[in-house]
Amino acid sequence: MNWLDFPFLQRGLAAVALIAPLLGGLSHLVVARRLAFLSTALGQAALTGLTIGLALGEPIAAPWGGMTGFCLLAALGLVWLKRRAALPSDTLIGVFVAFTLGLGICLLVAVTKRFNIHQIEALMFGSLLTVTDADLVVLAALLVGAALVLGRRYNDLLLDSVAAPLAPAHLRDRAKLDYLFVVVLTAAIVASLKIVGALLVEALVVIPAAAARQLTASLRAQVAWSVAIALLGGLLGLELSWRFSVPSGGAVVLALAGLFVVAFSLGAARRRAG
């Protein structure tokens, strides 16, 4: 039987088609701005936000208020600290990850007295097989919104990302750019958590751009390759999940890792030849 005969897998395919340009399109800017570790931190923050939302009475099926609110506060707070503290950004993010994990674990103990831990695991590891029509509407709206917001400031973001020493001469609102990009990235990550999972979302934010860099030096081509690799990884992950009955979030990450190995091998062969 073809797996596309099932409606829940059709919705999973639609989710992949929406997530690929969303996170794949942001991926090269995340890597260029050295924010890979931030995506990990936001995934951990989402777990803590989930437990805060549930502790405050949010339904287990839609705890978006706690996750979105906590992740946005955390992301904006990190940007504020990064622009004022003398510590490297990775050190600040490491401190934040430790704090959110400790808080999340403590709250998780209280929350699991009212909910089954397996219900919370779905957010931690994600599942393309449980995507609803409402999830697809949220992803589609976020994709359009991100395209409109970043489309107006894309050149400025690119300049600030790849040529930071030159940016002050051309940009007067670098701080606003920092906050703008982090807000869009946070919204994209939170919206994708149900599909990819809090523990695995970093892979879909980082691996596409890392693989694209092995295939081309052109920034425009890297964007196209990032989206294509994210899309192909999602499709292969769905196929692996269907054939071997493994969690779809983990299967997508394994597929992306395999694509990175292929891209790295092709890039190394091209460099040797050239």
**Taking residues 248-273, what's their average pLDDT?**
90
Q: Which CATH class name applies to 3-269?
A: mainly alpha
Supply the pLDDT for residue 61. 67
Q: How confident is the model at residue 208 (pLDDT cuts 50, 70, 90)?
A: very high
End-to-end, the C-alpha distance of the chain in Å comes to 46
Contact assessment for residue 23 and residue 204, using Cβ atoms and an 8 Å cutoff = yes
The mean of the pLDDT values for the chain is 82
- DSSP symbol at 59: -
Q: Which two tokens stand for residue 154?
A: 């894309």
Which of 47-56, 156-165, 250-259 is most confident?
250-259
Q: Which of 182, 251, 136, 225 is nearest to 39 (CA)?
A: 182
Integer Cα distance of 191 and 184 in angstroms = 11
Integer Cα distance of 90 and 268 in angstroms = 29
Residue ranges in the chain assigned as alpha helix (H): 7-32, 36-55, 64-82, 89-111, 117-125, 133-162, 167-170, 174-196, 201-215, 219-244, 248-273
Q: How confident is the model at residue 124 (pLDDT cuts 50, 70, 90)?
A: low
* Statement: residue 10 has pLDDT above 90: no
Which H or E element spans position 197?
A: none
Collapse the DSSP code of 199 into the 3-class scheme (helix H, G, I; strand E, B; otherwise coil) and give the result.
Answer: coil
* Statement: residue 60 has pLDDT above 80: no
Integer Cα distance of 5 and 47 in angstroms = 33
Q: Each residue of 73-92: pLDDT tens digit? A: 988 988 888 888 777 777 88
pTM, rounded to two decimals: 0.86
Contact assessment for residue 192 and residue 201, using Cβ atoms and an 8 Å cutoff = yes
Q: Which two tokens stand for residue 256?
A: 């992306």
Q: Each residue of 156-192: pLDDT tens digit? A: 888 777 776 666 667 777 778 888 999 999 999 888 8
